[in-house]
Amino acid sequence: MITVIGSLNMDFTSIVDRYPGLGETVIGREFHHQFGGKGANQAVAASRLGGSVHMIGRVGGDSFGEQYLSHLKEESIFFKNVEPVTHSSTGVSSVIISEGDNLIIVVPGANYELTPQDIEACREQIENSDVVVLQLEIPMNSVEKALEIASNKGITTILNPAPYHEFPSEWWPMITYLTPNEHEAELLMKSPGFREEYKEKLIITNGKDGIAYYKNGESTFIKAPKVQAVDTTGAGDTFNGALSYFLDKGYDFHDACYHATYAASLSVTKFGAQGGMPSLEELKQFMD
């Protein structure tokens, strides 16, 4: 059983020929509305592969929240611990894409209503998990509470430290694996409380170049296969969800990372953060 604790956002993406100036209106070429949020993305990635995935999070008591709960059901994700909060809106992300780059505004909304008390109320769910997956799009004290509960039971924890926040040194012993990108890894290794032995907890994602990790003081690289990228949004989330799935299935560490790298590469061949996340059969065919 995999438990994902994190964010659920509605993503609104507009594609334009150029960015508007201050006070200016421009006509867009395309508009896309997708389900997103790093927590839900990672839950979907693990579930698509066939994992038994439970989600803990918050949505607003609005139509977006209702749509998201229906979406989780369609993705075969257990969502009894995803509760609507009436006094806050569902988290939203507004994205403008132009000239191969993007501008993003995120309004966390209900995601920031997930409290340590809410995490405590889900203690039984967390303690019955084999893998617990977390990110940093919910309150930091809620992440800490989840790490405490999981680590006290010896449960494998995966923390995707994004968006990057410096966290207390007390977190390091409670984390089994950290999955930063190159920039985040550099910041982590300069943060207070970091020790050289903690490098063995890092799995560093390098986009189209693959991943790197450390074992017994040696660095190992797994190259990503070459693909025709359509949309790289969600590739990191696919990696995290797939990693949790393959670790949960008993794959050894290297093989779990290897399969997760291929899943992430396959995910960028379709549009949307969740659009390209593969089923297990699709991944096997791709790897073959």
Catalytic annotation present for 62: no
Contacts of 244 (CB under 8 A, 6+ apart): 2, 4, 42, 46, 51, 131, 133, 158
CA angle at residue 37 from 81 to 181, to 5 degrees? Answer: 120
Contact 222, 207 (CB under 8 A): no
CB atoms within 10 A of CB 84: 17
Q: How far apart are CA 91 and CA 93, in angstroms?
A: 7
Per annotation, catalytic residue among 11, 62, 118, 237: 237
Q: How far apart are CA 118 and CA 115, in angstroms?
A: 5
Tokens of 146: 């989840």
**What residues are labeled active site?**
237
